[in-house]
Amino acid sequence: KRHLLSAADLSRDDAELVLSTAAELRSLADRPIKKLPALRGRTVVNLFFEDSTRTRISFEAAAKRLSADVINFAAKGSSLSKGESLKDTALTLEAMGADAVVVRHGASGAPHRLAHSGWVRSSVVNAGDGTHEHPTQALLDAFTLWRHLGEEKRGGLEGRRVAIVGDVLHSRVARSNALLLKTLGAEVTLVGPPTLLPVGVEEWGVETSYDLDAVIPKVDAVMMLRVQRERMQGGFFPTPREYSRRYGLDGRRMATLQDHTIVMHPGPMVRGMEITADVADSDRSVIVEQVTNGVAVRMAVLYLLLGGSESESNE
Ligand code: CP
C-alpha cells in the first residue's frame, strides 16, 4: 500500500504485518545503537496543522531511527497565517522532495484530499484528521494490547474484550480503534453518556453502553478517552462533575477490574476528569508504554510504506 489514511483500509493481514514488524523493531530500543539504515536518503515531512506532543515526536523519532531525513512543519509560525492553502503547502513539500507526508489536520478528510489530489507523489500518513481517524494510534494501541493480552501471535486478540470509554463523539482515536480491533477479532464496547456517543455508532460493529460500572468488570482492557472540550461548541453536557462521577475511572472502579485487565489512554490526559492520577500512575496503567510502542509502530508503518522499491508501491 502507498498511503495509510484509515484503519478501515487495513486487512487483518496488513494490520498483523505492522504489529509483527513493530515487534521486531521494538527490540532496537533496548540496543545501545538504536538506528537502522533502512530509509537512508528518504525524506519524511511532519505536517502538523493541529497541536501534538506524542504523535509528532514519535514520528520524528521513528523516521530518525530508520535514518530518514525529517522536516517538521507546524502551522504556527508558517505561511498559513498569511492565507496559504493546503494545496500550496503540499506543492511546496513536493518541490522539496518529500517521500512521506505525515499529516495532522483539524478537518476530517484532509489527509485523503492530500493523497488523492495529485498535488503530491509521496505517501500520505494520517496522523489525526478532525473527529475522523487516527490510524497509527489504533495500531499502537493494538500493539500494546497484543503484547499484554495476545502473547504477540497472529490472531492473538481474537475474542478479547475492550471497553472504549468517554467522549466517543469527538474521538478519532475511538473510531480508528473500533475499526481496527474489530478487524483483529476483538469485541469492543463503547461506553459514554448518550450525548457523547455518535448517532449511528452501531454501524461500527460494536456494542454500546451508558453504564460503565456494568461493563468494566467483564473486559480485558479499558481505554479511556480525553474529553475534548475544545470541540464542543454547544457547551459540555453532562457537567464535568457529573461526567467524572459517572464515566471517570477512579480507584474504586479500578478495584472492580479483573486481575489481568489493563488501563489505557491515548493521551493527552485530563487528570481528574476522565481518569484520576492514582489510576493513571498505577501498575495497571500502560499509558507510558503506549508512547514507547508508538515509536516502534510508526517505524513499522514508515518502513512498510517506504522501505520497498518504487516499483513495489501501489495504491
Ligand atoms: N495520542 C495523541 O495523538 O497524542 P498527541 O495529540 O499528543 O499527538
pLDDT tens track, the chain, 315 positions: 799 999 999 999 999 999 999 999 988 777 777 799 999 999 999 999 999 999 999 999 999 999 999 999 887 777 776 767 888 888 888 888 999 999 999 999 999 999 999 899 999 999 999 999 999 999 999 999 999 997 777 778 999 999 999 999 999 999 999 999 999 999 999 999 998 999 888 888 899 999 999 999 999 999 999 998 877 776 666 788 999 999 999 999 999 999 999 999 999 999 999 999 999 999 999 999 999 999 999 999 999 999 854 433 334
* Other CB atoms within 10 Å distance of the CB of residue 197: 20
Backbone angles phi, psi at 116, to 5 degrees: -105, 5
The preferred substitution site among 48, 49, 51, 55 for testing ligand 1, maximizing ligand atoms within 8 Å of CB, is 55
Domain ranges of the chain: 7-133+293-312, 135-291
Is ipTM strictly over 0.85?
yes
pLDDT attached to residue 28: 77
Q: What separation in angstroms does the CA of 34 have from each of 75, 102, 158, 208, 295?
A: 30, 22, 32, 42, 12
Q: Give the distance, in angstroms, between the CA of residue 187 and the centroid of all CA atoms in the same chain.
A: 18
Expressed in angstroms and rounded, the spacing between residue 312 Cα and the centre of ligand 1 is: 31
**CATH architecture, domain 135-291:** 3-Layer(aba) Sandwich (3.40)
- What are 67's three cell numbers? 535514518
- What are 20's three cell numbers? 509483527
pLDDT attached to residue 280: 98
* Domain 7-133+293-312 superfamily per CATH: Aspartate/ornithine carbamoyltransferase (3.40.50.1370)
Whose alpha carbon is nearest atom 5 of ligand 1? 52
Backbone angles phi, psi at 305, to 5 degrees: -80, -40
Q: Can you tell me which atom of ligand 1 is nearest the CA of 266? A: 1
pLDDT attached to residue 314: 39
Q: Is the CB of 54 under 6 A from ligand 1?
A: yes
Instruction: Lay out the sheet containing 207-209: strands in order across.
Output: 207-209, 187-191, 161-165, 221-224, 262-264
pLDDT attached to residue 315: 40
Expressed in angstroms and rounded, the spacing between residue 142 Cα and the centre of ligand 1 is: 16
Q: Is the CB of 135 under 6 A from ligand 1?
A: no
Query: Do the first three CATH levels of 7-133+293-312 and 135-291 match, i.e. the same topology?
Result: yes
